[in-house]
A = this chain, B = another copy of it.
């Protein structure tokens, strides 16, 4: 077995999602990470430190603060990883069995069977049930498995890729609507997670909406232009947990300001939950929230944008 390569600072930035400045300032302030230096005096991060940084990034995304993590002992740290993983297993839904099975299949690297099992579940539950009761918990479970060290990164990648493929397939096979609202889906620059958006798209198309997906990372001004060009009734953007928390609110405000006032703005995803309510912005608490919002939109008569009804999913 090869010994793992050490990385320079920009490679660590890519791999962990922590900026160069942050890496340097952590080193200065907390003494970690503590990279060695190469001939030119440049930082070289051993693989173990990069692993640790990846974990810290994810814990921070889940709401822990750096000070807490740096203060923690080794034992406490790893218990935090597990605690974080466990905390959100609230409702042992009916899909639990399927989810556990899928996890086992991913770990066994058995792609064909995994694909088959997911397809089967989809057929049995219908697309909506599949997404809400299987895909969402499964995403969570995969994230947790990674965090507690049971999954490699590539297994997470593989799962994500499979699921994206499956969802696109499903969306493609649905009949295109001509009556429902026209919904433009995308993410802002810096946010490259597509899976959540695809899940919402599937649900919305299933409910008769016309979805126009721009994929990830559309500049705000282009979202505006696209909304106008495609005569969208609603613009929906999603923020993952990994999105820099401080940037969510400004991005949303700016987008809201850019869009014509008769266009609704829906914001969903883990990263959107920290968002304070704003006039003219609907925060979707979860997947069902999207369906409720669609219902509300239809009820209210289209084009009523001034103070849309509060949708509090709790």
This chain: copies in complex: 2
Q: Which of A90-98, A160-168, A282-290, A295-303 contacts B (4 or more CB under 8 A)?
A: A160-168
Are A258 and B160 in touch, CB under 8 angstroms? no
Query: Least Cβ distance of A191 to chain B in Å?
Result: 10
Closest Cβ neighbor of A161 among chain B residues: B215
Set of chain B residues within 8 Å of A189, measured between Cβ atoms: 11, 14-15
SS of A interface (majority)? helix
A241-284 vs B, CB cutoff 8 Å, 1 = contact: the mask equals 00000000000001001100000000000000000000000000
The CA of A183 and the CA of B111, in the complex, are separated in Å by: 13
Closest Cβ neighbor of A220 among chain B residues: B5
A136-155 vs B, CB cutoff 8 Å, 1 = contact: the mask equals 00000000000000001111
Interface range, A side: 35 or more
Contact of A158 among B155, B212, B221 (CB under 8 A): B212
The CA of A172 and the CA of B116, in the complex, are separated in Å by: 12
Are B153 and A222 in touch, CB under 8 angstroms? yes
Are A215 and B11 in touch, CB under 8 angstroms? no
The CA of A190 and the CA of B189, in the complex, are separated in Å by: 15
Are A219 and B153 in touch, CB under 8 angstroms? yes
Contact of A169 among B155, B168, B221 (CB under 8 A): B168
The CA of A107 and the CA of B270, in the complex, are separated in Å by: 34
Are B226 and A158 in touch, CB under 8 angstroms? yes
Interface, chain A (partner B; CB < 8 A): 2, 4-5, 11, 14-15, 47, 109, 111-112, 152-155, 157-158, 160-161, 164-165, 168-169, 171-172, 176, 186, 189-190, 192, 212-215, 217-226, 229-230, 254, 257-258
